[in-house]
Amino acid sequence: AQKVTQAQTEISVVEKEDVTLDCVYETRDTTYYLFWYKQPPSGELVFLIRRNSFDEQNEISGRYSWNFQKSTSSFNFTITASQVVDSAVYFCALTPSGSARQLTFGSGTQLTVLP
Amino acid sequence: DAMVIQNPRYQVTQFGKPVTLSCSQTLNHNVMYWYQQKSSQAPKLLFHYYDKDFNNEADTPDNFQSRRPNTSFCFLDIRSPGLGDAAMYLCATSRVGVEQYFGPGTRLTVT
């Protein structure tokens, strides 16, 4: 069984603050993928990143960075210098690698960035 | 641009009146998925197609059916919509085992 936990239901920050969204997962699979998706008010889920379970390198993309720690089963997402346009629901998700199986989503974190 | 397209973006149907939602993709992905998402919840997978092979989730009601006539198109049929079926319906595509790309969704209202 797989499970993804996003303990932060809602986070509110002021523009230009840094914010970290937490994601903890459980899986019995030895190889798997982790993802982050952004869902703005328009409703479309936007793919942000995929991380393979055997690649623990952290990744930075502009203001976004991801910290994958297999030892603690965590895949946290940090937004640096947040902007109002970052306001959205962010979902962390998990799937076994090499299969067309469903994504196991966390419950999502609603991020509100105030001007 | 390659993309996932869903039509219509908003659909209103009457209680018990069959409705069909459509999804098309230009990504040439072999897997297509349908998710149901209710307010403040994560998307819930209804079923997916791996090429022509249909895979139904165990808890998907019989009221929901799907068709995939070709690689590019996939349809979600709700045979007798109930008030509880009002939700956002998301279509997604992927190659096997990697990230899914989602369409903009169809928001279904049942009156």
Q: A44, B104: Cβ pair inside 8 Å?
A: yes
Beta-bridge partner residues of A46: A38
N-to-C CA span, chain A: 41
Question: Which residues of chain A have a CB within 8 Å of the CB of B45?
Answer: 102-103
Best probe of the B interface among A25, A36, A47, A102, by most B CBs < 10 A, is: A102
Dist CA B88 CA A70 (whole Å): 33
Q: Does B51 touch chain A (CB under 8 A)?
A: no
Q: Each residue of A32-78: pLDDT tens digit?
A: 999 999 999 988 999 999 999 988 888 888 999 999 999 999 999 99
Return the DSSP state at B103.
-
How far apart CA A44 and CA A71 sit, in angstroms, is 32
B43 CB neighbour count, 10 Å cutoff: 28
Find all residues with CB under 8 Å of B46, minimum gap 6, and list them. B34, B35, B36, B56, B57, B60, B64, B66, B76
Q: Note the pLDDT tens digit of each residue in B33-73.
A: 999 999 989 999 999 999 999 999 999 999 999 999 999 99
